[in-house]
Chain A
Amino acid sequence: MRPSYSLYINLLWEEMDNILIVDGVSKEYPGRMAVDQVSFSVKRGSIHGFLGPNGAGKSTTMKMIAGLLPVTSGTIKLFGEEVHPEKRNLKNKVGLLPENAPLYPDMTVEDYLRFVGKLHKIKDLEARLEKILTDLWLTNVRKRIIGNLSKGYKQRVGLAQAIFYDAPFLILDEPTNGLDPQSVVELREFIKLLAKEKTILFSSHVLSEVEQICDDITIIHQGKIRASGSLQEIHKKFRQGLVLRIGLSSGETLPDLSAFGKYETGSVQHLNTEDQYHLTFEADRDIRPELARYLVEKGVKLHTLMVESPELEDIFLHMTETRR
């Protein structure tokens, strides 16, 4: 059978829309599968959160995308071209801030950035240097030795290095890890600004951070992808049934719900604050009116009945706990 043209058009469209396509990528070390059949894609102009606990395979995957590690199997396509450590075609197009920023402790900030600029053969080196130093608030430490800087400043110098040659795609491996709260906020704001003109793959194990700045997320655990898509999609996909919060008048207890029609009750969780319960129903639509009627008929004094949308954190914990 002849493949349909619409299939080709779809594939082409996908390539145009996605800067990065990771397809069935695995990385095997002797006796250990670090990354197992990972597939996801990153949309042009988005901030893509790459989420997972420590040792999940985030850094390995990011290194493979950056072309620093070869894949054992599968393909990685960046800007429509296949990534391979031997190929040099994607150099200058990818900016990388690895988990440990590649800094020379004996160099001054400006000498270091000049060196990076020369490695990438930047034309207006001095103008670029001034812009980056200003953008990342590094002007006051420009003459200082990197080894003597605080962790926050070092991380900023690392980021300065990654964006120095104006690569359209940035890979940032846990950029806010180990920073003080002030630096974290500043760095996040800067990353948001960067996203206006760049596509960013951003890894983290801090969920709230990913929720705040990312458009799409991919969750990885033990080398396998657990979920990938936009924040809304993930929420929708992993809403394990319908979670309702039921608040009763003080002193009331929750009646037996086993008789509640065709709906099977899931886990009942008593919240310590007042007489509040979390109930999970295996339902794909809102059952609040029916439940309210049922409870009132049972003589329960109901004062709250609301849908709880699960936090990303819950989804994440659920996925990384239960499959351990």
Chain B
Amino acid sequence: MIWTLWKKESQSYFASPLAYVLIGLFSLISGIMFFNLLVTYSDGIQALPQNMTQTVSFVEEVVLRLFANINFLFLVFIPLITMRLFSEEKRQETLELYWMSPVRDWQVIVAKGLAAMTLILCMLTMTMIFPMIIWGVGIHDTSVLFAAYLSVILNAMAYISLGLFCSSISGNQIIAGLLSILGIMFLWMITWGGNLNSNFLIAEIFTYVGITSHFERVLRGVIGTQDIIYYMTFTFFFGFLTAKSLDRRNW
């Protein structure tokens, strides 16, 4: 059943020009970012005296920064992808089609999430050209790249679940999109709260709840159980909220 629903959602994405525009824009912006990072890195290296070039890490300056920037792009791209998922169905009153069939709410939610993830993976596939370039210049560190891709995929998963929830609470796409942008920004800001607070315990809680600390750990390849648990809990929590919000039809 999830397969049927996923197929329908994915087809619906690729039937509209939005998917292609998003993939194109994403490739363009991330390409410019990558180019800028490379230029900045090489300029920096050239400006340094010979004996100090080894102190500047390519992975640190280019790879990690690039993926941190991709995460930043998600702030806009993922809400654009998820905002229509439920709000559009609410507007068209097509959810009744599901409620009249033996399909379960969670199947619909998972299928929609997977369809959004499919589109994100298509976008990320376009960035595969960067590792190839890096490979070409002689840096062969697959584990760094693996961790970097894993970090943005996990983040995308969390943002999609948040976006799905925002989409389920509003019949208006624009409002749903704006809500998810605000939600993602809030997740980032929680971490800043952790940095500011002088109380150790509160700072720890803020750091754990905020998404940034987990993202940075995974990005650097320090993948701990707590991070995996965090992403799983986050996604399930918002999936659960989405299911509850859809249940509101029962009010």
The reply to whether A103 and B4 contact each other, CB–CB distance below 8 Å, is: no
Say yes or no: is A161 at the interface (Cβ < 8 Å to chain B): yes
The reply to whether B100 and A94 contact each other, CB–CB distance below 8 Å, is: yes
The reply to whether B101 and A119 contact each other, CB–CB distance below 8 Å, is: yes
The reply to whether B92 and A96 contact each other, CB–CB distance below 8 Å, is: no
- Point out the residues of chain B lying under 8 angstroms from A88, CB to CB: 102
- Point out the residues of chain B lying under 8 angstroms from A86, CB to CB: 250
- Contact of A102 (CB < 8 Å), options: B12, B92, B102, B249: B92
The reply to whether A100 and B93 contact each other, CB–CB distance below 8 Å, is: yes
- Point out the residues of chain B lying under 8 angstroms from A94, CB to CB: 100
Cα of A88 to Cα of B250 in the assembled complex, Å: 14
The reply to whether B250 and A98 contact each other, CB–CB distance below 8 Å, is: no
Classify chain B: how many residues form its interface, as a range: 20 to 34
The reply to whether B96 and A96 contact each other, CB–CB distance below 8 Å, is: yes
Say yes or no: is A69 at the interface (Cβ < 8 Å to chain B): yes
Cα of A98 to Cα of B94 in the assembled complex, Å: 10
Say yes or no: is B99 at the interface (Cβ < 8 Å to chain A): yes
Say yes or no: is B21 at the interface (Cβ < 8 Å to chain A): no
A-B pair count, CB < 8 Å, reads 64
The reply to whether A69 and B92 contact each other, CB–CB distance below 8 Å, is: no
Task: State which residues 52-70 of A face B: CB under 8 Å.
Answer: 66-70
Q: Mark B60-99, 1 if CB is under 8 A from A, else 0.
A: 0000000000000000000000000000000011111111
Distance (whole angstroms) from the CB of A227 to the closest CB of chain B: 29
Contact A66-B94, Cβ < 8 Å, known A104-B12, A106-B15: no
Say yes or no: is B32 at the interface (Cβ < 8 Å to chain A): no
The reply to whether B250 and A102 contact each other, CB–CB distance below 8 Å, is: no
Contact A103-B101, Cβ < 8 Å, known A69-B249, A69-B250, A85-B250: no
Cα of A161 to Cα of B96 in the assembled complex, Å: 11
Contact A106-B16, Cβ < 8 Å, known A98-B93, A119-B101: yes
Say yes or no: is A270 at the interface (Cβ < 8 Å to chain B): no
A-B residue pairs in contact (CB < 8 Å), sample of 9 = A68-B96, A92-B101, A94-B100, A96-B100, A98-B93, A103-B94, A105-B92, A119-B4, A119-B103
Not counting A96-B100, A118-B1, A119-B102, a sample of 19 additional A-B residue pairs whose C-beta atoms are within 8 angstroms of each other reads A67-B99, A68-B99, A69-B250, A70-B251, A85-B250, A86-B250, A88-B102, A100-B92, A102-B97, A103-B92, A104-B92, A105-B92, A115-B4, A115-B8, A116-B97, A119-B1, A119-B97, A119-B103, A120-B102
